[in-house]
Each structure stands twice: as structure tokens, then as C-alpha cells.
Amino acid sequence: MAKKQAPKIIMVSNRGAYNLQATDSGIQPVPAISGLVSAVEPFLKEKGGVWVAWGGREAPQENSPGVRLPVPQEDPAYTFLEVPLTAGEIKLYYQGFTNGALWPLCHYFLEKCRYNSQEWSTYVRVNAKFAEAALMEAREGDTVWVNDYHLALVPAQIRHRKPQLKQFFFWHIPFPHHDLLATLPWAPQILRGLLGTDVVGFHLQSYVDNFLNAVATLLGARVDFEHNVVYWQQRRIHAGAWPMGVDYQAFQRQALNPETRARAETLRCQFGVEHLALSVERLDYTKGILERLLAWERLLEEVPEWRGRAALVQIAVPSRTAVPAYRRLKEEVEAAVGRINGRFSEGSYRPVHYFWRGLPRQELVAYYLAADIMLVTPLRDGLNLVAKEYVASRRDSSGVLVLSRFAGAAQELKGAVLVNPYDIDGMAMILNTALNMGRAEQEKRMRLLQEKVRRHDIRWWLTCFHQAMIAREEETADVSGS
Ligand code: GDG
């Protein structure tokens, strides 16, 4: 008799931890950068399983099969299974519906939303491709964990074919108020798709509330707001707020590494200022890069004593470069950097150091160590892991975290200095306060932050998810539907 396999996790997301590149020696996985990857890959490395994702390349042919690779190459721990996408699908599903409609909608940029029925129908079809790939992998007892707004329809598509399969869904970005969501012609389909899951997780309770209100208002589903439960088609769906954590100990270890420390010293000498401010993110209009640069410029105008003494290092990781809004933003950011440097550079001093590239992880930690001030000022952000990583990388409790009140992480990170990134003058004055902050105040705040980030780390987050799944499994089946 065939041996029964142990249950496994099937992770499903638009992008995985690798982009696939064709080389002379075959297809090579190249590490990718995103918040989702930072959070989820350590889990798969530890537990094994399969990660179903698009490899970021155009499928060679219409019906090319997806590549299956053991990863990481140097020490394989899980399987990467590619969902191949054609050029048309990349344009309509990825650049179109997900990044031209859902992403701006969920981040409250209604004026950037473009609703197009051809893009929507491609989204439906591509979601079905992901669901099919996950179903091919899934055996009885396995859990399918689907991620994010790209794949909102997958839970219902899977439920339709394999009703008994355990499913978890995590929504990584803000979930908008139902008034805003209602502008999307296919909002009811998105909600019905999500309700195919058993458990749906968000970073904040306010996103859970928005989701529950949306299914009640736009679908007429019965909702128990007190317990975050939706009753739908004879099933009970649990929602929950689980703000993601980072691997605190790993960042601390990396920050202790003598090579990282030496590199941080070199960086400080290289930039040659008393006060170094840092920002790191994908080049995305939600991250408030332009507004931050304007505030930095205003600071140098209003408080001239910082000229020559404080510099901002802006690392902007290339992202969604085929989407027009991202190309325009790059031009605007680069024009602002040029203008500020043109106005305030003096001798070897430059007020802004701008890098349009990603850094290896160890180098990133060296930057976190070198920075006196970390500026995380998104216009809106589901959570923001960079803020937590900065805190986790500090060894001596010095450093100031300046954080937008519109980042989900602001709800947890009480020791941060909060800013409104829409208020350029206000932000400039808060930058001045942060630059002037004394050591004792820095330490008081940083200790508070470190305590929070250490306790609510990535393991805590995974345990929450695990417990929610177990609670769901133990439930009785006495469910009245709507
Ligand atoms: C989405 C949501 C939510 C950045 N630059 C480099 C680099 N990174 C890594 C960071 C961090 C990750 O990328 C970015 O995560 P964020 O959370 O800040 O932002 P998003 O990519 O927008 O993530 C967000 C997240 O999902 C998780 O649910 O928090 O709200 O938008 O881990 O370290 N990594 C390396 N080099 C870089 O230059 N190696």
C-alpha cells in the first residue's frame, strides 16, 4: 500500500522569493525583494512545502508548462512551482487590474484607479490558473495558504473544486472602507472570492472591520462583528487581525556580525555627516518618497544649520517599472533629488544620496546600523516591515524612527515619532525635532520599540495563524447559512 504523505503547506502568491531568469546554463532563480517574501520565506525554509507563484518572466509560449525547482539552490528546503503568464496576461492582469485598479484602490488613490473589463476578465482567468496549480499539488490534509490582492478569487475557485481543503488567506495591504470598494464594479466578486477561505487575516482590526462591513453591505452576508465571523453559504469564515512581525533575533545577529558593523562604519565615513537619515522602500507612490524629499528640502530651507551636517540616504528599489504611474514617479523623484542637491550641495557635502537599486540583506542591515534616523513616511501602507527591521537591527537602543501615522505599523510602534506625510511643513519640523533628539529620549523610545518588535516577531505571527487554523478545525459544523 502506498505510504500516506505528511500534510504540507502550499503557499500561493503572485510573486515568490525568486524571479526566474533564462541563462546559458538553464533557468536560474534570482532572489526577489518584497515584504511578503521577507515574512513568508523563512517559514517555508523551516517547514518545507510548495510555493506556487509567477516567476516574473514572460512565458516562452502560450501553453508552456511552469518550471518546478528545489530552492534555495545551495540548500533546497521547498519547491518553487511557476505559474507561467503570457505577455498579454502580464499586461492585463498584473500591470492592469492588480496594479492599476486594486493597488491604488486599497491605498485610497482613487484618482489613479483604472477599471477595465478586459483586465478584469484576465484577472479571473489568471486567478483560475493559480488555483489549478495549487489544486494539482494539494492532497487530503494539506493547507493552502493564499496571499494578497492579486489572488482574491483563488479561495472560492479552490473551494468549488475541493470543498474539504483547509484554506488560509492573508491580505497584506490595507482593506478599504466599503464606500471606496463599492466604486469597483466587481467588488462583490472579489468579496465572494475571499469568502471561499476558512480564515482570512489582515494586519489591523480596522481592516477586518472594513472587510466585515463590506461583506455585510455589498453581499448581504450575516456577520458577527463581535467575534469577527462571517456566515456564508452554510459555512463560517473567521477574520482576524495579525500584524506581521520580523525575525528579530536574525536581525540582531546580523547587526552583531563584525563585517556588518565594519561596513556600517565605512558607510558613516563615506557619507561624512554628523547625522545620517535613511529611507528604504520599493519605488512606489504609496511610500511617500516625493513628499519626504519635499520635507527634507523644507528643513534645509528653514533650518540652515543642518546644511553640511545632515544627509538623507534614499534607497529606492525598482518596482512595477512597466506601469506608467511608477515611471512618472521615478522621473519626479529624480528631478526632486537633482533640485535639492543642486540647491544645497557644498564641496563634498550632498544633502541627498539616491540609489535606484536593491541591496543584499547584509548591506541593508549595515545601512540600518549606520542611520541615526529612519524615515518611514508612506502616504498609506498596510503595515510596513522596514520600520520593524530598523528597530530589530539596533544594538545599543540609539536611533530615531520617524513613522507615518498612515502606516499600519504606527498602531503598534508606540515609541516612534509620528508624522503626517501630507503636511510638508509639519514633517520638516518633526525632522528637525528628530535630528535634535537627545540620547536619553532616543533610548527610552527605542527600548519601547524593541520590546514590541521582539515580542511580536515573525514566530509570534506564525503561531497566531496556526492557532487560528486549529481553532477553525475544532469547530463544530452547526452553521446556519445566509
Ligand atoms: C507589502 C505591504 C506589508 C526593501 N528594500 C530592500 C529590501 N527590502 C525589503 C525590506 C522589507 C520588504 O522589502 C519591504 O516590506 P514592506 O512591508 O516595507 O513593504 P511592501 O513591499 O510594500 O510589502 C506592506 C508587507 O507587504 C507585508 O505584509 O507590510 O504594507 O505593502 O522586508 O527589508 N531587502 C533587501 N534589499 C533592499 O534594498 N534585501
Residue 337 has pLDDT above 50, yes or no: yes
Q: Distance (Å, rounded) from C-alpha 391 to C-alpha 168?
A: 29
Cell numbers standing for residue 377: 513616511
pLDDT for 170-188, tens place per residue? 999 999 999 999 999 999 9
Average pLDDT over residues 328-334: 97
pLDDT attached to residue 5: 72
> How remote is the CA of residue 384 from the centroid of ligand 1, in Å?
7
Domains and CATH numbers, the chain: 9-244+460-475 (3.40.50.2000), 248-455 (3.40.50.2000)
Please give the mean pLDDT across all residues of the chain: 94
Ligand 1 lining (C-beta closer than 6 Å):
33-36, 38-39, 172-173, 244, 280-282, 315, 317, 358-361, 364, 381-386, 389
> How remote is the CA of residue 361 from the centroid of ligand 1, in Å?
12
> How remote is the CA of residue 285 from the centroid of ligand 1, in Å?
14
pLDDT attached to residue 412: 96
DSSP state of 97: I
Closest CA to 168 of 186, 148, 140, 191: 148
Question: Where does the pLDDT of residue 99 fall: very low under 50, low under 70, confident under 90, or very high at 90 and above?
Answer: very high
Radius of gyration of the chain from its Cα atoms, rounded to whole angstroms = 23
What beta strand segments (E) does 32-129 contain?
50-54, 68-71, 78-82
Question: Where does the pLDDT of residue 37 fall: very low under 50, low under 70, confident under 90, or very high at 90 and above?
Answer: confident
3-state SS, 345-365, equals CECCECCEEEECCCCCHHHHH
Atom 38 of ligand 1: nearest residue by CA position: 358
Q: Given its phi and psi angles, is residue 347 left (phi above 0), alpha (psi -120 to 50 degrees) or beta?
A: left
pLDDT attached to residue 283: 97
Question: Where does the pLDDT of residue 42 fall: very low under 50, low under 70, confident under 90, or very high at 90 and above?
Answer: confident
Average pLDDT over residues 40-67: 88
Q: Distance (Å, rounded) from C-alpha 228 to C-alpha 226?
A: 6
Give buried/exposed letters for 400-423 (b at 16+ CB in 10 A, else e): bbbbbebbbbbebbebbbbbebee
Average pLDDT over residues 85-111: 97
When mean pLDDT is compared across 55-69, 161-175, 219-233, the lowest value belongs to 55-69
Question: Where does the pLDDT of residue 397 fall: very low under 50, low under 70, confident under 90, or very high at 90 and above?
Answer: confident
pLDDT attached to residue 482: 40
pLDDT for 261-301, tens place per residue? 999 999 999 999 999 999 999 999 999 999 999 999 999 99
Beta bridge partners of 310: 275
